[in-house]
Structure 1
Amino acid sequence: MPNGSCLCQSVKYQYKGEPITRAVCHCHTCQKFSSGSSVNLLVPQDHFRITAGHAKEHDHTHDETGMHMKMHFCSECGTMLWKTADREEFKGSVVILAGTLDDPHALDDTAPEAEFFVGERAKWWRPVHGAQQLEGFT
């Protein structure tokens, strides 16, 4: 099972199986919480579990879509670990920030299938080869 954690190792998680999808998001919300675009893994909520610590939550309304999001982060080091959202496509799922995986090479063989909010992507960021290029989530 893939494992992940925050920078200080206070909060740890794991998930089983393959992600439903892998995507890069360039929306303004992702840019704000990640200091750039975010690489995300969508996994079923029942395949995800916290193995150590307790994440703090922050409620946020997505800037572009108005969906309600709950951000989960470490209260010690501030690392954003995962998020949940009430948008139909995300219900019953957890959106893991791929940079929090403990194995830095975990995604070497699996490129993102989609890029969201490509109109907000930094001009120097090249499109991911083979990934769907989307103006929003769909």
Structure 2
Amino acid sequence: MLNNTLREGGCLCGAIRYQIEGEPFDADYCHCRSCQKSTGSAFGAWMDFKTGQVRWLKGQVTEFASSEFIRRGFCDKCGTSLTYRHTQYTDYSTLSIASLDDANQVQPKYHIYTESQLNWLVIEDDCERYPQGRSC
């Protein structure tokens, strides 16, 4: 059955806009040091879609190779962190939940890389926690 849910989002300055059709197949909080540094926050909150669900409406992300297989996408005008791309999984698109126009529409299901969670950050939720990545 086709899910006709449409969501839109983009960067802080509006130079980049996207639309997503349907539900994410996954969503998580990532506490790794790379997400902390690239987002300028205590953690990243990411949502995963099949690439065909994402349509870029305006502009395009600039990517930074943060490791051998990982590309982090951002707006080259305002610096908003927008995407996370693993080059070995070309059929997946990972976008920042916070970049949605209504970020309350998607809630992460679990925490990864909690061994890097900042000591002063207290999160009281019922989500599963994984010291490193999560195996599917």
Equivalent AA in structure 2 for residue 43 of structure 1: F
* Residue of 94, 111, 114 corresponding to 2:110: 114
Partner in structure 2 of residue 32 of structure 1: 37
Question: Is 1:16 the counterpart of 2:24 in the alignment?
Answer: no
Q: Is the 8 A contact 2:97 2:103 kept in 1?
A: no
Aligned pair count reads 128
Partner in structure 2 of residue 77 of structure 1: 78
Secondary structure in 2 matching 1:39: strand
Equivalent AA in structure 2 for residue 94 of structure 1: S
Equivalent AA in structure 1 for residue 35 of structure 2: C
Counterpart-to-counterpart distance in 1, 2:59 and 2:99: 15
Q: Is the 8 A contact 2:9 2:99 kept in 1?
A: yes
Equivalent AA in structure 1 for residue 125 of structure 2: H
* Residue of 43, 48, 59 corresponding to 2:54: 48
Secondary structure in 2 matching 1:46: helix
Q: Is the 8 A contact 1:4 1:100 kept in 2?
A: yes
Equivalent AA in structure 2 for residue 25 of structure 1: C
Q: Is the 8 A contact 1:115 1:128 kept in 2?
A: no
User: How much identity, in percent, do the aligned residues show?
Assistant: 23
Q: Is the 8 A contact 1:56 1:73 kept in 2?
A: yes
Equivalent AA in structure 2 for residue 98 of structure 1: I
TM-score (norm 1): 0.84
Q: Which runs of 5+ in 2 are unaligned?
A: 1-5
Secondary structure in 1 matching 2:60: coil
Cα deviations by residue, 1:13-50 (Å, 9 ceiling, x for unpaired): 11111111110000010011111210110111111111
TM-score (norm 2): 0.85
Deviation at 1:103, TM superposition (A): 1.5
Moved over 4 A (4+): none
Deviation at 1:128, TM superposition (A): 5.1
Q: Is the 8 A contact 1:18 1:43 kept in 2?
A: yes
Secondary structure in 2 matching 1:105: helix
Partner in structure 2 of residue 97 of structure 1: 96
Partner in structure 1 of residue 7 of structure 2: 2
Deviation at 1:94, TM superposition (A): 1.2
Question: Is 1:123 the counterpart of 2:119 in the alignment?
Answer: yes
Partner in structure 1 of residue 133 of structure 2: 137
